[in-house]
Amino acid sequence: MSATNLTNPRLQAARKFLFSMLGLHVVLFAAMAILTLLLSVRVLLDWRTTSASSQDELASIQAQMRTLQIQLKPLQGLDARVVASRKQIDQFYLDRIPPSYSSIANELGTLASQAPVRLTRVEYSQAPGSVDLTEIRMDAGLSGDYPSIMHFINGVERSRTFFIIRAMALTGQQNGQVALRLQMSTWLRPADAAASGLPLAHDHPTDATTGSADAPAQQEGN
């Protein structure tokens, strides 16, 4: 018997097996296994790509959140700081803003007598006021020796009454005595400024007071 004759029955048996129901199931199962493997590989690759993209997006969101936190940090506790600032302003008004025009005049008179210097031609006027405070302007002549004038200036700057020196100009000097023109400002609450009866700053009062250090109080009486 030849080799061909021996193999032909085997080939025939293999063909029968392949084309039998069991053979078809085996082939189908193998094909599905290969397809499942391919799909699993594809899903794994897609998952890795999606995961990397999600991580990048998450990192971007976290970076934006950190940026917003840095930007919002100065605003943290803003409400408490506003309340504290309001209290400080109220305390400043209570301690440093004079309660009346006469208290301004009295404080200047006290400072002038302590220096001692001579205040002359003190003129008061009020600038158009804001809602909270009205500026009171003072234009005065100041004379005395140099140490006394410096003592007066220091007293004005350190006074509990809130004074601001706007301008100083030398008007004369003789025998060790110096004469200055001094312009200052302080503030009153609008109701106190209205009660003072002082002219507005654009007016030019003609009854300027001259005299000693207590001249501002005398002018108030006028």
Confirm whether 80 is domain-assigned: no
Lowest mean pLDDT among 103-107, 128-132, 145-149, 177-181: 128-132
Residue 32 belongs to domain spanning:
3-66
**143 & 216 share domain:** yes
Cα(103)–Cα(161) distance, integer angstroms: 9
Confirm whether 39 is domain-assigned: yes
Confirm whether 28 is domain-assigned: yes
**pLDDT above 50 for 111:** yes
How does pLDDT run across 50-83, given as a tens digit for each residue? 666 667 777 777 787 788 778 777 767 767 777 7
User: Are 203 and 213 spatial neighbours (Cβ–Cβ below 8 Å)?
Assistant: no
| Prediction pTM value | 0.54
**143 & 207 share domain:** yes
Number of structural domains the chain divides into: 2
**105 & 183 share domain:** yes
**123 & 188 share domain:** yes
What is residue 150's predicted lDDT score, i.e. its pLDDT? 92
What is residue 156's predicted lDDT score, i.e. its pLDDT? 92
| pLDDT over 70, % of the chain | 69
Confirm whether 87 is domain-assigned: no
What is residue 50's predicted lDDT score, i.e. its pLDDT? 67
What is residue 110's predicted lDDT score, i.e. its pLDDT? 92
Contacts of 23 (CB under 8 A, 6+ apart): 17
**pLDDT above 60 for 210:** no
Confirm whether 73 is domain-assigned: no
**211 & 126 share domain:** yes
| pLDDT over 90, % of the chain | 19
How does pLDDT run across 143-176, given as a tens digit for each residue? 999 999 999 999 999 988 889 999 999 888 888 8
Cα(121)–Cα(85) distance, integer angstroms: 39
User: Are 133 and 189 spatial neighbours (Cβ–Cβ below 8 Å)?
Assistant: yes
Interaxial angle between packed helices 101-114 and 146-158, expressed in degrees from 0 to 180 and rounded to the nearest 10: 140
**114 & 194 share domain:** yes
**127 & 22 share domain:** no
Cα(84)–Cα(105) distance, integer angstroms: 32
Average pLDDT over residues 94-118: 88
How does pLDDT run across 6-22, given as a tens digit for each residue? 456 666 665 655 555 55
Confirm whether 76 is domain-assigned: no
**144 & 211 share domain:** yes
Alpha-helix residue ranges (DSSP H) falling in the chain: 3-19, 21-72, 78-96, 101-114, 146-158, 190-196, 215-221
CATH number reported for the structural domain that contains residue 122 in this entry: 3.30.70.60
**27 & 132 share domain:** no
**46 & 124 share domain:** no
Question: Residue 182 forms beta bridges with which residues?
Answer: 140, 168
**118 & 216 share domain:** yes
Confirm whether 208 is domain-assigned: yes
**46 & 136 share domain:** no
Average pLDDT over residues 21-45: 68
